Amino acid sequence: MERYISVVVPNYNMEATIGKCLEAAFASDYQNFEVIVIDDHSSDNSLEIIREFPCVLVCLDSRSGTSTARNRGAEAARGDVIFFTDADCLLKKDTLSIINRTLSGLGPQTVVGGTYSPISFDRTFFSTFQSVFVNYSETKNANCPDYIAAHAMIIDVGTFRKSGGFPEKFMPILEDVEFSHRLRRAGCALIMNPAIQVRHIFNFSLWKSLRNAFRKTMYWSMYSLQNKDVFTDSGSASTELKTNVFSFFLNALFAALFLLTGKTGFLYILPVVYFVNIMINRRFLKLFHETEGISFAVPALLYYTLLYPVPIGAGSLKGIVNHFFNNRE
């Protein structure tokens, strides 16, 4: 059975990537689909690029946010199912075919997720690091993920419309996490198929990677405190990442104690803590090697364990402060 798939893509000032996104979508080996682009009142050249493709274009009268754009796209969908993705994501040639096969035998109450390919579109170090990180984090609990990310979310059109859609008054990010949690509470099942992949265009530098880690962690902390699930193994907020950050700051504490006291015993603890962290993260670190080989895996390991925890820790602290400040009576 070939389902009619509505590919819904929100766009805001993404002229640098929207053309590549639509070109990849229309190069699909699957034929029974439509592409709906919702332009969130862009001020760049996006509209001219979008109009070059045979997609349905919905233009919002004012800047309304990604959640509103996705919801308006779902309203316009004519398909049996909706595939949400982003304007900086590129479908693979067989992505829609894999989606159709995955849905065989599944009921309308099952929401299916895909993920980023391990190798990003722009194969720079920091972009590939992030792509591997997201791919691993989102797929390691494929049978029972905590959430489905909106860069590759497949949902029955009727189920979506009954759900109330993405929250339109929410944080700037994590609306797909809130939506997933709400779907589960309503009785929907969430599953991941790691074979459903899109290639993400990150264009990450060192600074962009660190800034992204800080920003996302800040909002994750705020949402997790509000949702009372701080210690949940939740996708990008994984047990492995939390262990990595805890290990980094624990070792920083022992190093500081050595400097303050001169007792070498504190130094002997450092490699033990680091080794335990490596063991807990070993499956994730193995994916670095499988993706780009040893020349990538070694610097990725060093970046992940010795620098990446800094913006994560800072973002967590900022999120905690924001949460308690926003909830003061």
Q: What is the DSSP letter of 151?
A: G
pLDDT in tens, 107-131: 999 999 999 999 999 999 999 999 9
- State if pTM tops 0.85: yes
Give the chain's mean pLDDT. 96
Which residues, including other chains, have CB under 8 Å from residue 114's CB and lie 6 or more apart?
95, 99, 151, 152, 153, 154, 192, 193, 194, 195, 196, 197, 198
pLDDT in tens, 5-64: 999 999 999 999 999 999 999 999 999 999 999 999 999 999 999 999 999 999 999 999
Determine what percent of the chain is predicted with pLDDT higher than 70: 100
User: Interior CA angle at 191 toward 186 and 196, to 5°?
Assistant: 135
Mean pLDDT of 237-258: 96
Mean pLDDT of 266-294: 96
CA distance 280 to 319: 25
Mean pLDDT of 134-144: 94
pLDDT of the residue at 329: 53
pLDDT of the residue at 325: 87
User: Interior CA angle at 85 toward 121 and 282, to 5°?
Assistant: 60
CA distance 300 to 129: 7
Determine what percent of the chain is predicted with pLDDT higher than 90: 94
What six digits make up the tokens of 58? Answer: 């919905």
Domains for the chain: give ranges and CATH numbers: 5-204 (3.90.550.10), 239-326 (no CATH)
CA distance 38 to 198: 19
Are 104 and 1 in contact, with CB atoms under 8 Å apart?
yes
Mean pLDDT of 142-159: 96
pLDDT of the residue at 26: 98
CA distance 11 to 171: 18
Mean pLDDT of 261-280: 96
